[in-house]
Structure 1
């Protein structure tokens, strides 16, 4: 009886461990044993279909338990679809490992699992069905003191650490259980794998590695606390902008370099980019900034761009009801100062199903299926805007990441390499209510600070807004669902970490090894066929 139900028990145990280890749970250490039930399933379940079902149960329950809030919208089925798809994607490296372990040694099989999983995570960051929320290295977001070495490896280093530790512990148990090899003679391997990263992080935390920094800059972060389901109503727009101006006036001083407003704070129904400088709200903001000429406002916005007949028309473009105008809608960031120029940044990492219908250039008829959360529905544009924003008075450059973009390690690092001294995150993640979604999102921002050694100013519409230092520590924050304003002195930095300079080398190495493994498997299959035909 126990053997019959063992696969189900292992599946549920694995999903429970993964869920319990994930932010914002305090049981992070469980991540170091959370994959052991999956490895055991691969050893005891011989039937391929039954193993697929057991692994699916484990991964699906983990996805649902950790990111169920994705469906906490006007269309709950979207959450089911997202969790189901992500589970199926995760099964690709798992099934690849099961197949490979049949023709290689156990040690090489363990190596292939790491390679396959890291390859999956890297690809999952690149394509239009991207959902990097459950990249394993994100598990340490609440413990930046454990992973100060992310400035060399990025989040993929955490993925490698987790998988290597799980495999080493499982191997020791397996050798003892079936071969009676003494645990004490083998335990040093998982202990070493577990301890060395802690030691490296402790070394960095001791202050033996301090990047050179510039002088401080005063930043004002506004949290207006506007219900995301009400903010797009026509009658509310003017009240909302006035509210943010009033909150800004409470904290701004002659020393202020930047004011940060949240995602889609301005022009919620769209404003033409070639006319932004003449918009009423732009003029109101400039009136305030004329009293504080050193300050620059960076805000989320919805902008529109019209295309002429001679322009290259992207697949995201749409037509008006008369069909005589082709244009794009952007989830954008705008920079407003006392000059007559408004800088515009276009969000390029768009949320699948909400801001982007994946591969719509092949399936244009599906463009109308993007979920409508009260603003402008349909796929947003992704043509390039400005890369960075710069305060002309202080020459400080910032990268204004918009919401979901802040989860992408290498994407953020690329912009830091372009010269960003500070990171801004503008978000409106209150769509999912008071769930783990916005709390996890905040914690992930701490990892971007470590990877780039940049201070982070995070403006969230409904919270949690925060100031995070270059070591990933939250210096100050505002509670969820409360309006308020933060004022802090942050330190611009021009130092480039190893990760910023060279990118995600670990993941790229995993992709290379994965290609070699696939080629090797084809080689073995061909040679076996030749031997069989000869016999």
Structure 2
């Protein structure tokens, strides 16, 4: 009977942890639950010391509940089964640091095991931001996206610091529960309480300079074009361009410095980059901008680049049967002004399975498996374009959709000289779900980490202006066309996180390697001691 009760108890703990993680995640207002969301898993780990297979299954269940309840909307694609696979695969990956924790915990003791769990999880998050199956949407530090006032200190430690915070508080909370069950000590409660309180108080002390004058006028357009039925329809590009220009004209004047259009707003069927200056859309935009000579227009675009016989052909390239040449298709953003210079940036962080078939250089037969979510089927190219849009008074980095989820990647662009951040996206693929709202809130964390204004143009919403303190100063409702005109500032200052994000993110990997070596040495040493006793 005790064994049955133990099994049921472990199952309930697994389910409870998954539900707490979901309940704490944006767009829920129960964010504080993140500080105890791993406590049931820690309790389950102590009870499941003898059955590794069952332990793995319960871990997977907890993370599958979290992933599926939080990001079920990724299945809103042309292939709904892709969402089921994505959530299950991500849950599977999340079990790895916990399985490693179990091994270290059993061989090196409880204290070392807790430290190892934090290190293993942080290593997992680092890898999950840098390999081709990357999906950092559920990085723990993103949990505070709706409450930036709690994490103004992200300008020092970024979302990595937020992940450490969550792990440490959960471990301290579990230790407090264990001590309460044995011998109650006030210090046990004091430790997790201080671990929550100190960073929160520090947040109010480092909220950034709120007196930086906003002296640059920016216009953000939300055209509200249905990506499934309207955006990529044959012959629709001309009408969509008229709509974009008409909305822009409503709030653009002689003082406007930047105009922002959303992802793939231009050339939905693609345009050759060597011919951009003669594209009808570019000519129409330049004609419009002549009335506002100070303005530069930044827009998402679908572009092609043709390779010559002397070029190195990348693994993402496609072969044109008519003409016998190689080319790449890109999810791009472009900057247009009244000069003949069109700057082109290529999206560098592509969505696995949607824009990129991972590691297809090793599996070339899989090239065409990427889902058609942008009007161009197959994987997009990864050949670099310009890193920043340069201007005499303000350099701009344009994050295309999913790129805005990568804190260290955006910070690198700021370190390279970006003074203003722009996000162009098309969140209409996911419908009116939590997906587009989560994406909006994550941009607030990028603003804090870099202390930059963020201008966000979303095809169907939510478009917004976000201050360096992570506050949304202007926004447009979801699924409504509209335009925002507001004032922002361009800053050249660099935060501690911008300067050091690479070290902050990679440090857990070093600790992970050392821990794994320590566990191996410990196992070998104990094995030799047992043999000597015999």
* Fold match by TM threshold 0.5: yes
Q: What is the match of residue 342 of structure 2?
A: 342
Q: Offset of 1:452 from its aligned partner?
A: 0.1
* 1:341-393 residue CA offsets vs partner (Å, 9 max, x unmatched): 1000000000000100000100110011111136101110111101111334x
Write out aligned runs for 1:142-161 (5 A).
142-161=146-165
Q: TM-score, normalised by structure 2?
A: 0.97
What secondary structure is seen at the aligned counterpart in 2 of 1:467?
Answer: strand
1:133 and 2:140 aligned: no
Q: What is the match of residue 386 of structure 1?
A: 386
2:464/2:472 contact within 8 Å kept: yes
The change in CA–CA distance for 1:497 and 1:74 in structure 2 (over 3 A counts) is: same
Q: Offset of 1:530 from its aligned partner?
A: 2.6
Distance in 2 separating the partners of 1:15 and 1:215: 43
Distance in 2 separating the partners of 1:239 and 1:413: 37
1:80 and 2:84 aligned: yes
Q: What is the match of residue 12 of structure 2?
A: 9
What secondary structure is seen at the aligned counterpart in 2 of 1:390?
Answer: coil
2:214/2:487 contact within 8 Å kept: no
Count, aligned residues = 528
CA RMSD, aligned part only? 1.3
1:50 aligns with one of 35, 48, 54: 54
1:525 aligns with one of 516, 523, 526: 523
Moved more, 6-15 or 139-148: 6-15
Distance in 2 separating the partners of 1:322 and 1:309: 16
Distance in 1 separating the partners of 2:16 and 2:142: 21
1:11/1:37 contact within 8 Å kept: yes
Write out aligned runs for 1:324-339 (5 A).
324-339=324-339
Q: What is the match of residue 270 of structure 2?
A: 270
Q: Offset of 1:526 from its aligned partner?
A: 2.2
1:295/1:391 contact within 8 Å kept: no
Q: What is the match of residue 18 of structure 1?
A: 21
Distance in 2 separating the partners of 1:460 and 1:292: 23
Write out aligned runs for 1:70-469 (5 A).
70-177=74-181, 180-205=182-207, 209-210=208-209, 213=212, 216-229=215-228, 230-322=230-322, 324-373=324-373, 375-392=375-392, 395-469=393-467
Name stretches of at least 5 consecutive residues in structure 1 with no aligned partner.
Answer: none
The change in CA–CA distance for 1:308 and 1:212 in structure 2 (over 3 A counts) is: farther
Distance in 2 separating the partners of 1:507 and 1:113: 16
TM superposition outliers: structure 1 runs of 4+ over 6 Å: none
Q: Offset of 1:3 from its aligned partner?
A: 2.9
Q: Offset of 1:465 from its aligned partner?
A: 0.2
Distance in 2 separating the partners of 1:214 and 1:387: 26
Q: TM-score, normalised by structure 1?
A: 0.97
Q: Offset of 1:158 from its aligned partner?
A: 0.5
Q: Offset of 1:504 from its aligned partner?
A: 4.4
Q: Offset of 1:533 from its aligned partner?
A: 3.5
Q: What is the match of residue 480 of structure 1?
A: 478
Name stretches of at least 5 consecutive residues in structure 2 with no aligned partner.
Answer: none
